[in-house]
Amino acid sequence: MKTFQAYRFALDLTSRQELDVLAHAGAARVAHNWALARVKAVMDQRSAERSYGVPDELLTPSLHWSLAGLRKAWNAAKPAVAPWWGEVSKEAFNTGLDALARGLKNWADSRQGVRAGRPAGFPRFKSRRRTAPSVRFTTGAIRVEPDRMHVVLPRLGRLKLHESARRLARRLDNGTARIMSATVRRDGGRWHVSFTVEVERAERVPARPQSVVGVDVGITHLAVLSTGEMVGNPRHLLDAQQRVRSWGRALPRKTGPDRRTGRRASKRWERAAARLGRAHARVANVRRDGLHKLTTRLAREHATIVVEDLNVAGMLRNRRLARNIADAAFAEIRWYLTYKTLWNGGRLVVADRWYPSSKTCSGCGAVKAKLALSEREYECEACGLVLDRDHNAALNLAALAADLDTAGSGPVAARGADQKTRIRGQVAKKREPGTASVGQTGTVLPQGRTTNRVLTKTH
């Protein structure tokens, strides 16, 4: 099975190499800002001409928003705009133009209703201080050295890795991987190189081919499995909150940058900002490491994993729980399981958003009208079952996969999912029954939608 996978490694750059990388990132930012200014100028000019009654055939020629169109305009103007263009790789300018082309396409698709999700805004100009420096290479000499501790990139030369690249080197030596691109980026005060690789993955079978597990995520416990296992929530942000708050309060006491007066930040402010950035980066790295270990274990062991389609964006509107919900990273858990079940030959089932997994009795199937968040134990009035509410929800999720297997590939209505939960003072509106169907990748999507995309990622 061929798929795209990313390998990310930390870099140990010298002072000279860091300046070279920053020069390439600056070139990408210059090309992006110039092209964006050109696009805005052409749009404003055409709008003004239309207001004067100029016919469409006599308007100022429009600038094509594709990468090829932006690159053609940049190549014609770069001798005057950037006379130093020969000092950096052409891939640096291509990085900025490609980012702008993607942003313009997302904005146009969002306005036309083609793009799902939140509305995408019009691209903005990139700032030198507020934008993470990044440059992407797609052509030229991109390879891993035989010692597996150095990589070679165009115009940047030989860069030392902070860790061994043996995971990637083994695949390259065996001929089961091919590097498509390499991106150098600074995150949390450290430089990283990320390789996008086309990988030939061997077919795998889960350790328990007939196993079905429901996973109910939460704040008290990060994940409760239908097997009875409860994975504790490490709360990484809460553990580091005191340190992060202390350093965050120390930052405004330094002389920071001021865009209105052109004042530059002091060295103490830059050191304090870097220290605060490293603290946040460490929290993100520790959280990501724990989620990868959990999802990898589940995908390798169980053949079918059932999760809920949570409205995380809506849950974050609760200001009392927003920080804990964001720290738990519910969306990351589902994303990791999406591609890891595909890699390991398993199946991911996503329950309908309105499926009442917590209100349904896992013993008799009775559905409660209301269940307060403070009620941590589920007590069934029909059969007398008393069970932890999260464990009860996980059992119901696991049972949903059995309903799908019984019905085959046709749509299956989730029990009790035909209407929303009643809200105080309001009458719940009727809705179509929630359905789920098996996609071609083995992933079950809510509301009968299927996908042909193969979504992959690595840790």
E strands present in 310-430: 347-351, 377-379, 386-388
**Could you tell me the domains of the chain?**
2-15+133-200 (no CATH), 29-112 (no CATH), 208-234+279-446 (3.30.420)
How many angstroms separate the CA atoms of 215 and 226, rounded? 7
Whether the Cβ atoms of residue 294 and residue 386 lie closer than 8 Å to each other: no
pLDDT grade, residue 145 (50/70/90)?
Answer: very high
The pTM of this model reads 0.81
Cα–Cα separations (whole angstroms), residue 107 to 47, 101, 116, 122, 426: 18, 10, 11, 6, 36
Residue 426: the pLDDT is 32
Mean pLDDT across the chain: 86
pLDDT at 153 over 80: yes
Per-residue tokens: 36: 């964006």
How many angstroms separate the CA atoms of 394 and 405, rounded? 18
- Pick from 321, 320, 326, 387: nearest CA to 358: 387
Whether the Cβ atoms of residue 152 and residue 165 lie closer than 8 Å to each other: no
Average pLDDT estimate for 181-204: 93
Share of the chain above pLDDT 70, in %: 88
Whether the Cβ atoms of residue 192 and residue 185 lie closer than 8 Å to each other: yes
How many angstroms separate the CA atoms of 23 and 155, rounded? 11
The catalytically annotated residue of 20, 91, 327, 390 is 390
Most confident of 26-40, 53-67, 425-439: 26-40
Average pLDDT estimate for 212-218: 93
Q: Determine the 3-state secondary structure of 399 from DSSP.
A: helix
pLDDT grade, residue 16 (50/70/90)?
Answer: very high
pLDDT grade, residue 407 (50/70/90)?
Answer: low
pLDDT at 373 over 90: no
Using a 10 angstrom Cβ sphere, with 0-12 exposed, 13-18 middle and 19 or more buried, the burial of residue 19 is: exposed
pLDDT at 457 over 80: no
pLDDT at 128 over 90: no
How many angstroms separate the CA atoms of 138 and 160, rounded? 20
pLDDT at 147 over 90: yes
How many angstroms separate the CA atoms of 387 and 423, rounded? 25
Dihedral angle sign, alpha carbons of residues 166, 441, 335, 224: negative
Interhelix angle 241-250/267-301, nearest 10 degrees:
160
Average pLDDT estimate for 45-65: 89
How many angstroms separate the CA atoms of 26 and 28, rounded? 5
Query: Residues 6 or more apart from 54 whose CB is under 8 A from it?
Result: none
pLDDT at 104 over 90: yes
Say whether 308 is catalytic: yes
- Pick from 197, 198, 171, 207: nearest CA to 345: 207
Whether the Cβ atoms of residue 309 and residue 271 lie closer than 8 Å to each other: no
pLDDT grade, residue 427 (50/70/90)?
Answer: very low
pLDDT grade, residue 189 (50/70/90)?
Answer: confident
The catalytically annotated residue of 216, 239, 405, 418 is 216
Does residue 449 or residue 385 have the better pLDDT?
385
Say whether 147 is catalytic: no
pLDDT at 267 over 80: yes
How many angstroms separate the CA atoms of 412 and 420, rounded? 18
Whether the Cβ atoms of residue 45 and residue 60 lie closer than 8 Å to each other: yes
Burial 386-425 (b: 16+ CB within 10 A, else e): ebbbbbbbbbbbbbbbeebeeeeeeebbbbbbeeeeeeee
pLDDT at 348 over 80: yes
Does residue 117 or residue 277 have the better pLDDT?
277
How many angstroms separate the CA atoms of 174 and 171, rounded? 5
The catalytically annotated residue of 98, 308, 327, 352 is 308
pLDDT grade, residue 1 (50/70/90)?
Answer: confident
Using only C-alpha atoms, what is the Rg of the chain? 26
Say whether 332 is catalytic: no
